[in-house]
Structure 1
Amino acid sequence: MESTQLALLALLLGAVIGVAACLIVFAAIRARERAVREAEGAVPPGMTAVLDAMDDPAAVVDASGLVAAISPTAPWLGIEKDAPLEHTGLRDLVRAARSGATETANLRLVRGGMSSDSRLVSGRAIRVNERHTLLIVRDLSEQERLEQMRHDFIANTSHELKTPVGAVTLLAEAIELAADDPAQVRAFTARLSAEADRLGRLTGRIMNLSRLQAAEELTSVGDVAIDEVITSAIEAHAVQADSAGVDLARGGDRGLYVRGDTQILKEAIGNLIANAIAYSPRGSRVGVGVRAAAGAVEIAVTDQGIGIAEADQQRVFERFYRADQARSRRTGGSGLGLSIVKHAVARHGGEIKLWSQPDRGSTFTVRLPLSEAPVIDSPAKKRKKRKPETAVVGADAKEGSE
């Protein structure tokens, strides 16, 4: 009896050992297969470091269509790790590159998430190995925007120049036909001179705006006294204010300085004052106020004019845009003044804000970074600084005479 029990126990123990051995072997086989699959699907060495250093959205896509690795900016286009590519155009580009050729295409994509912002991008897919493809996406939206701005600028400029050029041509013909009538000739000549002046102002403003848009940095930078800028701008438009019956007033802080180009700032503030005068009724006042606030200089130009409708306030800084077409024709406005102001202020690291209500007037506020007043040596200090030089010159002269 005992021998039978021992035999059964031995048989059971052998079965347990056999099953355990089978499980161990099976687990080893599965682990080996998993390791092989991971090795085959692993991102090539060094590719992750390359992706981390890239500014453009980029990803490594495996043969199954899943994203194996991404650059830091890839989520901006909805490209997520361990997920399939969201955009059909990008999937087609990767699929085409698996044949071994580098594929490039321009695509218009909508960014991931809830955004409806459409972006023009250039996609480039490069086969890395049998299982992986590198996808690089470069955003071309800014280039597209600049190209559209350039196209619009040329079209608008051509349109605006046609009016005064056409008027000059017609007036020249009229003068020729009225050669025997001195009074008519004088009248046409005065109008011709006015159109020539208008054409000169328009071309000058176009050149100023082009210069501000083309330059990456200011060419002449120094300490700019805001008092000088305001005084010069007011004096330059005093005749215009007198003719329009508008009073110019200045108030606020004195002795403030900014860093920048004095002439550009004079033109910018002058454009604001000229606009305020042009859109103000006779007998009203245009005020120019200055104050220091939170590390900035604020220059506010306020009028009591017709104001600007809310629908037009976002567009008044666009080139050639006029909120009041009829008044602009009467005053000879080009629609470039506020655009020049906006770019001039931006070149100085500042911003411009607008408050306006119809029939209550407008206030344009320019904010520029405040700088410390320059240190100007007194005449006594200058004489003290020159004394050592005089002594040295004298010693040299004495030594030379010896």
Structure 2
Amino acid sequence: MAVAVAVALVAGLVAGLLLSRTVRERRRPAPGSDRSRGSAGRPAIPDEQQGGLSGLGRKTIDSLRAGVVVLDPDDVPVLVNPAARALGLLRTGTTPGSIAAHPLIRTLAGQVRRTGVRREIELDLPRGRDSAGDNPLGVHLRAMGLGAGYISVEAADVTESHRLARVRRDFVANVSHELKTPIGALQLLAEALVDATEPTGEGTSELSEDMIAARRFAERIQHESTRLGRLVQELLELTRLQGAEPQPAPEPVSVDWVIAEVVDRTRTSATAHRVEIVVDGERGLTVYGSDSQLATAVSNLVENAINYSGEDTTVRVAARATDEHVEIAVTDQGIGIAPNEVERIFERFYRADQARSRATGGTGLGLAIVKHIASNHGGRVDVSSTLGGGSTFTLRLPARPPDDLEATLSSAGIEAGPAELR
């Protein structure tokens, strides 16, 4: 709410800035005058204009907890509230007594001017030169154009939410690591029980009721321990994707290789469910990111399609290129998704059909993993579905190398945290 108020106020104040600049241009003092030029070689902003902004609108912006910075077409700050200064969004300018926007602010402003699209990012800023990792400042930045080359950047302090997210990720990761050993032992013991109750030799075809029950329980233990092991593995994978570990540097990835790898991974499951996997679409496409993560994302989509499809049906995997993206679509002929559940299926542990998920051994994390992989690669995943008529999941990934924003953050002295660019 505060940011929305800030946007409206900033737009009005910038309109005043533009009008005042026009009047000032007409009344500009003669060359050589001390007040003729600003510190960066541009018309100075008179004190009375900054004060003119100190009416009700300026006082309101100064009272906001959200930081507000407005840059002119030359990336010079023309409006800064105290919250923005407290968040460390300003730097000392090149000339004595002048100020400049943080390099990240200028980068976001340049992207907005170049694309005309609002940009948002969440990251962690070190609080000082010697505190880069212990207690970073979490900020959510939103940059948007105000017209005539002016850019407004609003910053919100999200340090506490980032801290809680880190605590949660660390807890899940630690618990999952601790569970791997006993789960592995449980799987081995269950396998040994199954082998011990295997009928062998002549005259053993008729087992006692106790042996039959023991074998049934052993097989059940083996099934559930395998499912629990898969859950722990996917929890660890999701924790890594959410920022517990740095993401690998993006590299060119062949979409043909990804699809071939996915078909190979899911062949056994498809055969068991009597589902045919058909591959079509364009060939020779390239995306940028981690080949293993992209293969995992598409594999999860195909496995999901197989599990929710009937026998003697088809799952189709198709790739195509658009102007800005490469799309990998997975279409099934399964049970479909109800309209009121479409928005929730990417939530962790959410299952549209609880009974079917238990029967297939699903963990409820597969689509959440797909969503985070897509987000980490600068893309997204969409779904269109008809209840009883099948579903299509479309993974959209950038067709060009990602912007070198990470390098810009590093050069600006910023520790990149869990970030999302939209």
TM range (shorter): 0.5 to 0.7
Instruction: Output the amino acid matched with 2:215.
Output: R
Q: Distance in 1 between matches of 2:364 and 2:163?
A: 20
Identity %: 41
CA shift in 2, pair 1:286/1:342, >3 Å: same
More off after superposition, 192-201 vs 274-283: 192-201
Query: In the alignment, does 2:316 pair up with 1:287?
Result: yes
User: Which sections of structure 2, spanning at least 5 residues, go unmatched?
Assistant: 1-44, 46-50, 69-153, 198-207, 402-422
Shift of 1:218: 2.2
Query: In the alignment, does 2:290 pair up with 1:273?
Result: no
Q: Give 1:334's aligned residue.
A: 363
Q: Give 2:164's aligned residue.
A: 147
Q: Give 1:205's aligned residue.
A: 234
Instruction: Output the amino acid matched with 2:323.
Output: A
Instruction: Give per-residue Cα distances to partners, 1:216-248, cap 9 Å, x unaligned.
Output: 752243211100000100111011011111110
Query: In the alignment, does 2:381 pair up with 1:364?
Result: no
Instruction: Give per-residue Cα distances to partners, 1:70-92, cap 9 Å, x unaligned.
Output: 658949799xxxxxxxxxxxxxx
Q: Give 2:135's aligned residue.
A: none
Instruction: Output the amino acid matched with 1:196.
Output: S
Q: Distance in 1 between matches of 2:62 and 2:56?
A: 17
Q: Distance in 2 between matches of 1:346 and 1:287?
A: 23
CA contact (8 A) 2:170 2:244 kept: no
Query: In the alignment, does 2:238 pair up with 1:221?
Result: no
Q: Give 2:349's aligned residue.
A: 320
Q: Give 1:261's aligned residue.
A: 290
Shift of 1:326: 0.7
Q: Distance in 1 between matches of 2:255 and 2:331?
A: 17
Instruction: Output the amino acid matched with 1:268.
Output: A
The size of the alignment, in residue pairs, is: 248
Shift of 1:215: 4.8
Q: Distance in 1 between matches of 2:63 and 2:310?
A: 54
Choose between structure 1 and 2: higher helix proportion.
1
Shift of 1:190: 2.1
Coordinate RMSD, CA, aligned: 4.4
Q: Distance in 2 between matches of 1:312 and 1:153?
A: 30
CA contact (8 A) 1:217 1:347 kept: no
State the TM-score, normalizing by the size of structure 2.
Answer: 0.50
Q: Distance in 2 between matches of 1:289 and 1:68?
A: 54
Instruction: Output the amino acid matched with 2:232.
Output: T
Q: Indicate the SS of the match to 2:318.
A: strand
Q: Give 2:217's aligned residue.
A: 188
Q: Distance in 1 between matches of 2:169 and 2:305?
A: 27
Shift of 1:69: 4.3
Shift of 1:153: 11
Q: Indicate the SS of the match to 1:364.
A: strand
Paired residues for 1:29-108 under 5 Å: 69=59, 74=64
Q: Indicate the SS of the match to 1:237.
A: helix
Q: Give 1:304's aligned residue.
A: 333
Q: Indicate the SS of the match to 2:399.
A: strand
CA shift in 2, pair 1:281/1:153, >3 Å: farther
The higher relative CO (CA closer than 8 Å, separation ≥ 6) is in 2
Instruction: Give per-residue Cα distances to partners, 1:46-105, cap 9 Å, x unaligned.
Output: xxxxxx9xxxxxx9xx9xx97864658949799xxxxxxxxxxxxxxxxxxxxxxxxxxx
User: Which sections of structure 1, spanning at least 5 residues, go unmatched?
Assistant: 1-51, 53-58, 79-136, 373-402
CA shift in 2, pair 1:66/1:352, >3 Å: closer
Q: Distance in 1 between matches of 2:387 and 2:169?
A: 29
Q: Distance in 2 between matches of 1:243 and 1:361?
A: 20
Q: Distance in 1 between matches of 2:216 and 2:325?
A: 51
Instruction: Give per-residue Cα distances to partners, 1:349-401, cap 9 Å, x unaligned.
Output: 111111011001100001111148xxxxxxxxxxxxxxxxxxxxxxxxxxxxx
Instruction: Output the amino acid matched with 1:212.
Output: L
CA contact (8 A) 1:308 1:357 kept: yes
Shift of 1:140: 4.8
Aligned with residue 267 of structure 2, among 238, 256, 271: 238
Q: Distance in 1 between matches of 2:155 and 2:325?
A: 37
Q: Distance in 2 between matches of 1:313 and 1:145?
A: 27
Instruction: Output the amino acid matched with 1:197.
Output: T
Instruction: Give per-residue Cα distances to partners, 1:248-297, cap 9 Å, x unaligned.
Output: 00000001111111001111100000000000011111000000111211
Q: Distance in 2 between matches of 1:142 and 1:357?
A: 41
Q: Distance in 2 between matches of 1:246 and 1:313?
A: 24
Q: Distance in 1 between matches of 2:290 and 2:63?
A: 38
